[in-house]
């Protein structure tokens, strides 16, 4: 009896030879990653379009002059301060989210609940700040298709406070439209993230994951939440810093 | 060979998640905070203080810092660094298209700029 097998008949044990999960990632998590990749493409398209418009125009509203208020504290003179607070809130809520995921690995239900509550509060604070910022800009006259105007005054005078170089109505309009579209789309993502977090928090409280034996769902919703934070990092740079 | 089939959720959870500990999470948080603080320092102290001028140079610095922050978020918070090489590639390679898109749109922007040039303000006074 021959016990040798031909090379073709040998059972392959490689990662991709079947019988095991080659990525070693659960299906739902892979799908969340692929969704986020496609969503990243959408945001990239928005931001690249913004960049192109800004690059193509000779003049553009100066972000330091458009965003210089701190609601309830100062109306002008403090560029970057309020958006700095917003950035800090979002990074902080990202950290509480990882801590929830980390607690989930240890199957510590109590910690998962508290860190998720902290994440949701962070998200709500961020959305609140964004609402304040939008309200402020809206009062100044910026909106989709609208730029600040004053009766009996030429557009150049009405727009003068927002420009450092020459003044352009087209640039101001493009800026207003893109600002509200992009931060609006991001804010919509944050709102969805808060809702998903609340649903998953409910499932944690209902012991769903305790029974399932794994807190993987916390991880999936966490991926989404970090992505929202990631997008904000780019929005912050291209709208407020550059 | 069936015994090797290990796609139960529990097993996976335990297998490749020893990457992030509480200490590491806070360390990454401080990196992110430091990078953001650096951006603020450049913007408020250097640019507003008049040490350096707004322009391409500063923008490149901002973009590098932003990409660094993005790396820390994706690699550690989203845990991508600890996934298999194949999975990392399947997520990241496609962003080559974004780089290509940026190149295309910069070309397009240059063209637009040269055509806006004679008509900088609209409506023309």
Residue A46 has pLDDT above 80, yes or no: yes
DSSP A2: -
Nearest-CB residue to B101 (from A48, A91, A242): A48
Separation of alpha carbons B124 and B80, rounded Å: 52
Least confident of A4-13, A20-29, A141-150, B39-48: A4-13
ipTM: 0.89
Residue B4 has pLDDT above 50, yes or no: no
Separation of alpha carbons A54 and A186, rounded Å: 20
Q: What is the pTM of this model?
A: 0.88
Structural contact between residues A105 and B13, judged by C-beta atoms closer than 8 angstroms: yes
Residue A186 resides in a domain: yes
Q: Give contacts of B98 with chain A, Cβ < 8 Å.
A: 40-41, 44, 48
The reported pLDDT for the residue numbered B1 is 38
Q: Which is higher by pLDDT, A150 or A196?
A: A196
| Residues B98, A41: C-beta atoms closer than 8 Å | yes
CA–CA min distance A126, chain B (Å): 17
Residue B17 has pLDDT above 80, yes or no: no
Q: How many domains does chain A have?
A: 1
Contacts by B117-121, CB closer than 8 A, 24 or more apart? B117/A58, B120/A58, B120/A59, B120/A166, B120/A168, B121/A166, B121/A167, B121/A168, B121/A169, B121/A170
Separation of alpha carbons B116 and A56, rounded Å: 8
- Residue range B78-95: average pLDDT? 93
Residue A147 resides in a domain: yes
Kindly state whether A233 is in contact with chain B, defined as any CB-CB distance less than 8 angstroms.
Answer: yes
Residues 34-73 on A with a CB inside 8 Å of B are 34, 37, 40-41, 44-45, 48-49, 51-53, 55-59, 64
The reported pLDDT for the residue numbered A111 is 95
Residue A113 has pLDDT above 80, yes or no: yes
Give the closest residue to A242 by CA, choosing from B50, B47, B99: B47
Residues 137-166 on A with a CB inside 8 Å of B are 156, 166
SS3 (DSSP) at A70: strand
Residue B16 has pLDDT above 60, yes or no: no
Binned at pLDDT 50, 70 and 90, residue A27 comes out as very high
| Residues A56, B4: C-beta atoms closer than 8 Å | no
| Residues B36, A91: C-beta atoms closer than 8 Å | yes
The rounded percent of chain B whose pLDDT value lies above 70 is: 77
Structural contact between residues A116 and A104, judged by C-beta atoms closer than 8 angstroms: no
Residue A11 resides in a domain: no
Nearest residue on chain A to B118, judged by CA atoms? Answer: A58
Binned at pLDDT 50, 70 and 90, residue A30 comes out as very high
Q: Which is higher by pLDDT, A185 or A1?
A: A185
- Residue range B79-99: average pLDDT? 94
Structural tokens at position A155: 């557009």
Residue A217 has pLDDT above 80, yes or no: yes
The reported pLDDT for the residue numbered A97 is 96
User: Domain range holding A234?
Assistant: 26-241
Separation of alpha carbons A12 and A80, rounded Å: 58
Neighbouring C-alpha atoms within 13 Å toward the C-beta of A122: 25
The reported pLDDT for the residue numbered B125 is 46
Q: Give contacts of B40 with chain A, Cβ < 8 Å.
A: 80, 84
| Residues A216, B101: C-beta atoms closer than 8 Å | no
Nearest residue on chain B to A168, judged by CA atoms? Answer: B121
Q: Give contacts of A241 with chain B, Cβ < 8 Å.
A: 39, 43, 62
Give CA angle at A129 (B54, A112), nearest 5°. Answer: 115
Residues 6+ apart with CB under 8 A from A169: A147, A155, A159, B121, B122, B123
| Residues A84, B21: C-beta atoms closer than 8 Å | no
Residues 6+ apart with CB under 8 A from B26: A95
Structural contact between residues A144 and A119, judged by C-beta atoms closer than 8 angstroms: no
Residue A169 resides in a domain: yes
The reported pLDDT for the residue numbered B95 is 95
Separation of alpha carbons B105 and B64, rounded Å: 20
The reported pLDDT for the residue numbered B118 is 58
Mutation target for B interface from A15, A18, A23, A30: give the one with most B CBs within 10 A: A23
Residue A128 resides in a domain: yes
Per residue in A136-191, pLDDT tens?
999 999 999 999 988 888 888 888 899 988 888 888 999 999 999 999 999 999 99
User: What CATH number is attached to the domain comprising A99?
Assistant: 1.20.120.80
Mean pLDDT of chain A: 92
Q: Give contacts of A44 with chain B, Cβ < 8 Å.
A: 98, 101
The reported pLDDT for the residue numbered A21 is 87
Binned at pLDDT 50, 70 and 90, residue B6 comes out as very low
Kindly state whether A95 is in contact with chain B, defined as any CB-CB distance less than 8 angstroms.
Answer: yes
Structural tokens at position B116: 């806006």
The reported pLDDT for the residue numbered A153 is 85
Per residue in A59-86, pLDDT tens?
899 998 999 888 888 888 888 899 999 9
The reported pLDDT for the residue numbered A115 is 96
* Bond preceding residue A132 cis, omega within 30 of 0: no
Per residue in B41-85, pLDDT tens?
999 889 888 888 888 899 999 999 999 999 999 999 999 999 999
CA–CA min distance A106, chain B (Å): 9
Q: Give contacts of A108 with chain B, Cβ < 8 Å.
A: none
Binned at pLDDT 50, 70 and 90, residue B123 comes out as low
- Residue range A98-109: average pLDDT? 94
Helices (H), chain B: 9-15, 22-40, 56-72, 85-92, 96-116
Least confident of A64-78, A128-142, A194-208: A64-78
Residue A198 resides in a domain: yes
């Amino acid at each position: 009896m021959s016990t040798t097998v031909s090379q073709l008949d040998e059972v392959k044990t490689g990662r991709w030879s079947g019988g095991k999960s080659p990525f070693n990632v659960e299906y739902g998590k892979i799908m969340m990653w692929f969704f986020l990749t496609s969503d990243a493409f959408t945001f990239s398209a928005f931001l690249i379009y913004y960049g192109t418009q800004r690059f193509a125009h000779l003049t553009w509203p100066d972000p330091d002059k458009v965003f210089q208020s701190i609601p309830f504290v100062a109306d002008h003179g403090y560029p970057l301060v309020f958006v700095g607070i917003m950035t800090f809130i979002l990074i902080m809520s990202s950290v509480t989210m990882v801590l929830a995921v980390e607690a989930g690995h240890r199957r510590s239900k109590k910690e998962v609940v508290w860190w998720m509550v902290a994440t949701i509060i962070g998200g709500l604070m961020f959305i609140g700040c964004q609402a304040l910022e939008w309200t402020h800009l809206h009062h100044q006259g910026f909106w989709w298709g609208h730029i600040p105007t004053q009766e009996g005054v030429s557009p150049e005078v009405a727009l003068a406070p927002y420009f450092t170089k020459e003044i352009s109505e087209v640039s101001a309009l493009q800026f207003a439209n893109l600002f509200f579209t992009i931060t609006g789309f991001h804010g919509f993502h944050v709102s969805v993230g808060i809702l998903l977090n609340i649903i998953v928090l409910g499932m944690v409280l209902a012991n769903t994951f305790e029974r399932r034996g794994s807190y993987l769902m916390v991880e999936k919703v966490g991926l989404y939440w970090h992505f929202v934070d990631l997008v904000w990092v780019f929005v912050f740079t291209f709208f407020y810093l550059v | 060979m069936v015994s090797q089939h290990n796609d139960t959720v529990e097993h996976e959870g335990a297998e490749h998640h020893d990457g992030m500990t509480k200490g590491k999470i806070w360390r990454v948080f401080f990196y992110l905070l430091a990078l953001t603080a650096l951006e603020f320092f450049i913007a408020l102290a250097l640019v507003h203080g008049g040490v350096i001028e707004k322009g391409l140079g500063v923008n490149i610095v901002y973009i590098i810092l932003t990409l660094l922050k993005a790396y820390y978020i994706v690699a550690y918070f989203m845990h991508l660094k600890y996934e298999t090489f194949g999975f990392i590639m399947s997520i990241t390679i496609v962003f080559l298209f974004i780089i290509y898109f940026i190149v295309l749109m910069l070309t397009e922007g240059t063209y637009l700029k040269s055509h806006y040039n004679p008509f900088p303000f609209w409506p023309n006074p």
